[in-house]
Amino acid sequence: MGPTGSGKSSFISKVTGGSVLTSCTSGLRVTKCKVMGFANLVLVDTPGLDDTNRSDLEVLNLISKWLKENYERKALLSSVLYFHRITDNRMAGTPLKNFRVFEKLCGDHAMAQVILVTTMWDEVEDDVGKDRLAELRSTYWKGMISHGSTTFRYENTKESATRLLEEMAEKGIERRHKELRETAAGQEFFSLECNPQCSTGAP
């Protein structure tokens, strides 16, 4: 998950190297592949929460429906990757609102399964990127990290993608999927739908 243009699709491309079976399901890009000994690895590229063609509620509904259908087929969600551009010099407005909703979607019990992935390191000075990551870890991401989430510096290379996949595998556990309306994120989205003037969010 993550904003449009944050590197989700690029990561999947680097992981699979083109050896994939991909299908688009109502806006979700589902990629099945065999890498690193994983016989049935499924990577789900979700629309950005800032998608211009869908509301936040529609995006979350897409994700919720897909997870529910596949949970019933005994396919289990092992981990969640949240992609963030390190090139963004501040976190406010829509990006901040999207992250707050994502945080609520996970809930305290699932935060240990989350990897917060920073991307586009080749577009900033290394010291600048490190300072921004330190700020993210000590402020916006502090709560999730304290509940077990980890961070990962993705270098947009095959090697870096493989290391991220290894971390993803280590976090894999069975997690029961909740119905959309039962999650704090779902409640947040319904609130936003009822109050569109609040859709830009606030810290």
C-alpha distances in angstroms, 118 versus 7, 87, 115, 140? Answer: 9, 9, 10, 13
User: Counting every residue, how long is the chain?
Assistant: 203
Q: Which domains does the chain have, with CATH numbers?
A: 8-193 (3.40.50)
How far is 166 from 189, CA to CA, in rounded Å?
A: 32
Model pLDDT for residues 15-43, shown as the tens digit of each residue? 877 555 555 655 788 888 776 666 677 88
pTM beyond 0.85: the answer is no
Model pLDDT for residues 79-128, shown as the tens digit of each residue? 889 999 999 887 766 677 777 777 777 777 778 888 999 999 999 999 99
Residue 192 pLDDT: 44
